[in-house]
Structure 1
Amino acid sequence: MKVAAYQAPLLPSGSVAAIGLIRERVAWCEAEGVEILCCPEAILGGLADYAPRPAEIAIDVEGGQLNAVLSPLASDRVTTIVGFTEISASGQLYNAAAVFHRGAVTGLYRKLHPAIRKSVYEAGDQLPVFTIGGLTFGIVICNDSTYPEPARILASRGAAALFIPTNNGLPLEKADVVADARRVDAARAMENRVSIIRADVAGRAGGLVSYGSSAITDAGGTLLQSARRLTEDLLVADIGAARRG
């Protein structure tokens, strides 16, 4: 199966530009036979931890708001994984990623390990697997990938690939984490015999920097594609749909 990781620009908090950017990538993927496109963590609106009013960038799933926001990305050929801030019926915020398939949200993952010590996000507690076009996969968001257990559980449930929406927008002195991400991706791949597709942001905005750690790694830990530093990019690779070994 052909998959893609979109390294999107690091946008200002609250920006609505992401949908248009992703729509362009979906159109390209349709033309090139890409079946699953992974976008970064919190690509819609940015991370709530950095927002002046976090609830204002949050999106409701149960009431249908997310389906409406994502409707421009509808495609019969390309499934898109999109990171956003979810607000629950009780007002809790979650760092989430949606699986948007044929015009509807068909799956949702909530980040298990919010990375900031006093994050506004609640922790998720589910590790679902999804199947699209014969590929069974899991999602772990950014910091979740540094913990071996989520990947192990997802692989035990049949995942042949892990998609990792990431947002490494950080203060300059902490921003160069690309090598760390590469080591984590190789470790999770080799431990579980799964392909790893990581999609990060890149650039500078709001006093933060992300060098861009987007990459695609095969189930043996070999780096297949890696993104250019500090700039928007799109990585594409063919991965196996079945777990090996």
Structure 2
Amino acid sequence: MRIGACQTPEILRDVDASLGVIREFAERADAEGVDLLLFPECFLQGYLVTEQHVREQAWELGSTRLTELAGIRPMLVLGMIERDGDRYFNTAVVVHDGRVAGRYRKTFLTAGESVFTAGDEYPVFECGGVRFGINICFDTRFPEAAGGVAANGGQVLLVPAQNMMPRVKALYWQERHNAIRAERARETGMWLASADVTGERDDERVGLGPTGFLSPAGEVVAQVPAGTSGMVVADVQP
């Protein structure tokens, strides 16, 4: 399976712009024979965990605009804010030709994500004969999250992330993200692909990634340069 991991600008409250970025990356990915395209955490509506943002921006999966992505050949995995009744989830949705093929709801929430309800399942999906599951950002701090995907037959772990942080914190964590993810790869024997945002939100907050691929041995095999938007592609052979 050929995967494209996308490092994108942060987009807040502008779904039209988010869908436009997806189409731009998908056009390039299709030309490069990519089977699956990965985008960051809460990418569609933007990652803000204030109650106002979540309530105003959340979608129910059955009433989303994801059908506008019909005609895109690669399978898409992208973050969104999901509403289900009176509950809200930090969700990664799997989309194929504009149709929802499944979803994963973040199971380990940070202290600042109390507006969300935690998920409790680790579904596994298939693309090109390869089975993959999803952890979202903070999930990777916990071995049981990656282990849940592996236990269900996952061969590849996809990690939508969003690490827009105060500058000092972003620099501190820049290399540590891959170190933590490498532990999950080695523990489970899975390939790992991550996608993150980049750029500056304001004078204080910056996104540095990383976006890229780790082998089952925990080695970085490809990565988008820090501070730049772009896509990196890798052929994953479990």
Same fold (TM over 0.5): yes
CA distance in 1, matches of 2:113, 2:214: 32
**Aligned partner of 1:145 among 119, 140, 143:** 140
Deviation at 1:102, TM superposition (A): 2.4
SS in 2 for 1:174: helix
User: Aligned partners of 2:214 and 2:179: how far apart in 1?
Assistant: 11
More off after superposition, 169-178 vs 191-200: 169-178
Give the aligned partner of residue 209 of structure 1. Answer: 206
Distance of aligned partners of 1:14 and 1:191 in 2 relative to their CA distance in 1, 3 Å threshold? same
Report how many residues are paired.
235
* Percent identical residues: 34
Residue 93 of structure 1: CA displacement?
Answer: 0.9
Structure 1: gaps spanning 5 or more residues: none
Residue matched to 1:15:
14
Retained in 2: the 8 A contact 1:48–1:57? no
> How far 1:149 sits from its partner (Å)?
0.8
Deviates more, 1:28-37 or 1:114-123: 114-123
Structure 1 equivalent of residue 152 of structure 2? 157
Q: Matches of 2:163 and 2:14 in 1, distance apart?
A: 17
Aligned to 2:181, what secondary structure does the other structure show? Answer: helix
- Residues 51 and 232 of structure 1: CA distance in aligned 2, closer, same or farther (over 3 Å): farther
Output aligned runs, 1:117-128, within 5 Å.
117=112, 119-128=114-123
Find out whether 1:194 has 2:193 as its counterpart.
no
Q: Check the 8 A contact 2:26/2:72 in 1, yes or no.
A: no
The amino acid across from 1:32 in the alignment is: E
Distance in 2 between residues matched to 1:36 and 1:59, nearest whole Å: 23
8 Å contact from structure 2 (residues 42, 80) kept in 1: yes
The equivalent residue for 1:82 is: 78
In the alignment, the residues of structure 2 paired with residue 139 and residue 198 of structure 1 have an alpha-carbon distance, to the nearest angstrom, of: 10
Tell me which residue corresponds to 1:224: 221
Looking at structure 2, the residues matched to 143 and 189 of structure 1 have their Cα atoms a distance apart, in angstroms, of: 15
TM-score in terms of structure 1 length: 0.91
1:135–1:160: 8 Å Cα contact kept in structure 2? Answer: yes
Quote the offset at 1:76 in angstroms.
5.8
3-state SS of the aligned residue for 2:165? coil
Q: Distance in 1 between matches of 2:119 and 2:160?
A: 15
1:21, CA displacement in angstroms? 0.6
Deviates more, 1:113-122 or 1:141-150: 113-122
TM-score (norm 2): 0.93
Counterpart of 2:212, as a letter, is A
Classify 1:235/1:50 alpha carbon distance in 2 versus 1 (closer, same or farther; 3 Å).
Answer: farther
- In structure 1, what residue type is equivalent to 2:229? E
Match of 2:97 in 1: 102
Task: Identify if the C-alpha distance between structure 1 residues 199 and 118 changes in structure 2 by more than 3 Å, giving closer, same or farther.
Answer: closer
Q: Distance in 2 between matches of 1:160 and 1:118?
A: 29
Equivalent residue for 2:39? 39
Runs of 4+ in 1 over 3 A off after TM superposition: 50-53
Q: Which amino acid aligns with 1:4?
A: G
